[in-house]
Copies of this chain bind each other. A is one copy, B any other.
């Protein structure tokens, strides 16, 4: 396999990119890769964490099964993103389960490797904290969305995060199937469908797994508007 490619992706990940070269090499030499098929489980909630994961290809979802059987998608990670930093250090139990949503390739850094690096260079600890903070921040954003925005507004924000531009119009590709998108946004697939239908008046047109956005700024305005106001706009 193209081992160099993997290394490059890992080195450019948010977690490792700020580390000095020799530390990166040390960590990479202690890590392993594994490929997963779509639907395969990386780990289950409750299992003891012994490694940090970095996605080098494909998509991985973190989810949680509530005691009542409901599934809550906590996050979906793409190439270059890492997860499990904070939990691995203490050998604690994963609070979530992880599953491959496409066939994918994941790098496993044994937590002892990072612990060792942290002992040598306290700056590494700060870098790990910074990376953990990103996750914290993303969870806070999700909470805000769930508590303070309507369904269609959450969908609008999701689409906005996918496009790279700030203004104008663009076409984005939906990264995974609608069932998963719905889960990530805390709604049922049917509600997602209806939300897409609503967004037509805000200049969004869905065709298969592509979404055409007429005017990014208009959509942003919609996602940031007052729920009652948003309703009138969508009539």
Which residues on A are within 8 Å of B, measured CB to CB?
A: 64, 66-74, 85-87, 89-90, 92, 95-96, 115, 118-119, 122, 125-126, 128-130, 132-133, 135-137, 139-149, 153, 183, 186, 223-227, 230
A125 to B121 alpha-carbon distance, docked (Å): 11
B148 and A146 contact, CB distance less than 8 A: no
What's the nearest-Cβ distance from chain B to residue A4, in Å? 31
A125 — which chain B residues lie within 8 A by C-beta? 118, 122, 125-126, 128-129
A139 to B118 alpha-carbon distance, docked (Å): 26
A144 — which chain B residues lie within 8 A by C-beta? 64, 66, 72, 74
- Count copies of this chain in the complex: 2
B89 and A129 contact, CB distance less than 8 A: yes
A33 to B136 alpha-carbon distance, docked (Å): 26
What's the nearest-Cβ distance from chain B to residue A86, in Å? 4
Residue of B at shortest CB range from A125?
B125
A197 to B16 alpha-carbon distance, docked (Å): 52
Q: Given the known A-B contacts A86-B133, A129-B128, A224-B68, are A143 and B140 also in contact in the complex, defined by CB atoms under 8 Å?
A: no
A139 contacts which of B89, B140, B226 (Cβ < 8 Å)? Answer: B140
Given contacts A132-B133, A142-B143, 15 further A-B contacts (CB under 8 A): A64-B140, A66-B145, A68-B225, A68-B226, A68-B227, A72-B144, A72-B147, A73-B147, A74-B143, A74-B144, A86-B130, A86-B133, A118-B122, A139-B139, A147-B186
A72 and B129 contact, CB distance less than 8 A: no
A76 to B115 alpha-carbon distance, docked (Å): 32
A64 to B148 alpha-carbon distance, docked (Å): 9
What's the nearest-Cβ distance from chain B to residue A22, in Å? 17
A69 contacts which of B73, B143, B226 (Cβ < 8 Å)? Answer: B226
What's the nearest-Cβ distance from chain B to residue A130, in Å? 5
B130 and A132 contact, CB distance less than 8 A: no
